[in-house]
Amino acid sequence: MNYPIIKDANGWVISVNQDSKSEIVITNEKGKKYLIEVPEEDMKDLLSQHPDYASHFSLSSDIELPKKVESEYKFLVSNGTWKEEVDSIKGEYYQQLYVAKDGNFWQARIRIHDGEHAKFTIKGPRVGITNPEFEYSIAIEMAKEIWNESPGARLEKTRYKVQKGEDLWEIDEFVSPSLKGLYLTELEVSDVNKQIDKPLWAGVEVTHEKSFRNDSLADYNFKMKHLLSENDELFFSVNKAGIMVSDEDLPDMPNISRLKSMLYFVISTGKNIKDDNVIELLHDFGLQEHKESLSVKVVNEIVETMVSRNPVLQAKFLNNTVENLQKTNYKQKL
Q: What is the mean pLDDT of residues 19-43?
A: 93
Claim to verify: residue 186 and residue 55 sit in the same structural domain? yes
Chain-centre distance for alpha carbon 205: 13
Grade residue 326 by pLDDT with cuts at 50, 70 and 90. low
Give yes or no for residue 153 having a pLDDT over 50: yes
Give yes or no for residue 63 having a pLDDT over 70: no
Distance CA 120, CA 324 (A): 42
How many domains does the chain contain in total?
Answer: 2
Claim to verify: residue 23 and residue 152 sit in the same structural domain? yes
C-alpha torsion sign, points 291, 293, 298, 300: negative
Claim to verify: residue 300 and residue 210 sit in the same structural domain? no
Scanning the chain, the segments in alpha helix (DSSP H) are 40-49, 140-149, 214-224, 232-240, 256-269, 278-284, 296-309, 311-333
Q: What is the mean pLDDT of residues 5-25?
A: 92
Claim to verify: residue 191 and residue 266 sit in the same structural domain? no
Grade residue 125 by pLDDT with cuts at 50, 70 and 90. very high
Query: Which domain-ending residue is among 224, 254, 270?
Result: 224
Average pLDDT, whole number, for the chain?
89
